[in-house]
């Protein structure tokens, strides 16, 4: 029944996206693969801060060509994670372009969607109205019937846990008591699986605030306690930091925090924009005894380098190797 109700929205958005994609042409990127296809247990792509903006045509080609190149992984993606700020101003047309393009170019992919501050209005507009729009689009295109911005998926037995801010704030992820309690319950389920779990939040851990708008380390402590005995990896965005900067890979919380770059423009924690041509994302590969995180420029269709001869990647040994 819901699919029928969403049909007009899907048709309109995909038609808009079709015009958009045809207008910017076919991507020329070649196929690529995980490091060791025979040994890889799970692999997924993380894309953050896409920032579809109606009047910013520079980004349109980057986004279109990058998304065309994502499915060229010869081993296939077990999931494609959009890590928030998929739109710039949460406008209806921006949502139609983003969701329609994702449906058109990633039609065979499992998509996980995370709420970003720009998707929620970036502290402007009618928050309730904007959130209803976001829920409607995520349900119509990704099959999430949500009433709150947090949810989880289980893919091949691995838990993908999505957190989300519950107030319209630019620099703070506001988490309620209900979300904290929910997270602890889901982590208990993840622990029973005996497998690594992956936590996704648009905001880095230094941006946490409780429902009384007081800074809190509670989320960090919950994840740290879990990671003391289990394998956990935290992915965030928001800062637009290039993977070539050390701040994108932090382990000082007791578990890895991997800060994904922006697909459409680069900047840093100081707010300085350094490049309006990006295409950067992350390919995550899980093996029996380690997790491999690899930077890839999907627009240019090549692996990302820290320096001319140094691949931008990190290897994280597992506490509990997989059989």
Task: List the CATH number of the domain containing 95.
Answer: 3.60.21.10
Residue 323 lies in a domain: no
State the pairing for strand pair 158-162/151-155: antiparallel
Looking at the domain assignment, is residue 64 inside a domain? yes
Q: Would you put residue 123 in left (φ > 0), alpha (ψ -120 to 50) or beta?
A: left
Q: What is the pLDDT along the chain (323 residues), one digit of tens a residue?
A: 566 788 999 999 999 999 989 998 999 889 999 999 999 999 999 999 999 998 888 788 899 999 999 999 999 999 999 999 999 999 999 999 999 999 999 999 999 999 999 999 999 999 999 999 999 999 999 999 999 999 999 999 999 999 999 999 999 999 999 999 999 999 999 999 999 999 999 999 999 999 899 999 999 999 999 999 999 999 999 998 888 777 789 998 999 999 999 998 765 544 445 455 689 999 999 999 999 999 999 999 999 888 777 889 999 999 999 98
Q: What pLDDT is attached to residue 272?
A: 46
pLDDT of residue 276: 55
Q: Is residue 41 part of a domain?
A: yes
pTM reported for the whole predicted model: 0.95
Q: Would you say residue 178 lies in a domain?
A: yes
Task: Give CA–CA dist 246/32, Å, rounded.
Answer: 25
Whose tokens are 């010869």? That residue is 74
CA distance 181 to 214: 18
**Cβ(192)–Cβ(216) below 8 Å:** no
Supply the range of the domain harboring residue 288: 2-317
Interior angle at CA 63, CA 59 and CA 69, nearest 5: 145
Write down the pLDDT at residue 300: 92
- The whole-angstrom separation of Cα 140 and Cα 121 is 20
As for how many domains the chain has, the answer is 1
Find the angle CA(309)-CA(198)-CA(35) to the nearest 5 degrees: 35
């Amino acid at each position: 029944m819901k699919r029928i109700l969403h049909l007009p929205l899907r048709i309109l958005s995909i038609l808009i996206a079709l015009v958009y994609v045809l207008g910017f042409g076919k991507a020329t990127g070649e196929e690529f693969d995980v490091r060791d296809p025979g040994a890889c247990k799970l692999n997924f792509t993380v894309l953050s801060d896409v920032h579809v903006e109606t009047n910013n045509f520079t980004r349109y080609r980057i986004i279109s060509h990058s998304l065309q190149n994502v499915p060229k992984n010869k081993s296939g993606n077990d999931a494609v994670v959009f890590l928030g700020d998929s739109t710039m101003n949460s406008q209806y047309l921006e949502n139609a372009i983003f969701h329609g393009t994702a449906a058109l170019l990633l039609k065979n992919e499992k998509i996980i969607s995370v709420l970003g501050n720009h998707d929620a209005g970036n502290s402007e507009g009618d928050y309730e109205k904007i959130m209803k729009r976001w829920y409607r689009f995520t349900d119509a295109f990704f099959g999430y019937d949500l009433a709150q911005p947090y949810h989880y998926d289980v893919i091949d037995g691995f838990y993908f846990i999505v957190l989300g801010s519950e107030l319209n704030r630019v620099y703070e992820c506001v988490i309620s008591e209900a979300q904290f309690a929910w997270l602890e319950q889901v982590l208990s389920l993840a622990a029973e699986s005996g497998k690594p779990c992956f936590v996704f939040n648009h905001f880095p851990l230094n941006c946490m605030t409780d429902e009384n708008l007081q800074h809190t380390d509670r989320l960090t402590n919950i994840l740290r306690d879990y990671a003391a005995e289990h394998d956990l990896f935290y992915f965030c965005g928001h800062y637009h930091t290039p993977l070539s900067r050390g701040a994108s890979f932090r382990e000082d919380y007791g578990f890895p925090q991997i800060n994904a770059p922006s697909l459409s423009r680069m900047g840093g924690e100081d707010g300085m924009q350094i490049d309006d041509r990006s295409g950067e994302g992350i390919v995550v590969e899980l093996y029996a005894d380690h997790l491999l995180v690899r930077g890839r420029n999907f627009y240019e269709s090549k692996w990302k380098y820290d320096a001319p001869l140094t691949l931008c990647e990190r290897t994280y040994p597992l506490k509990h190797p997989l059989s």
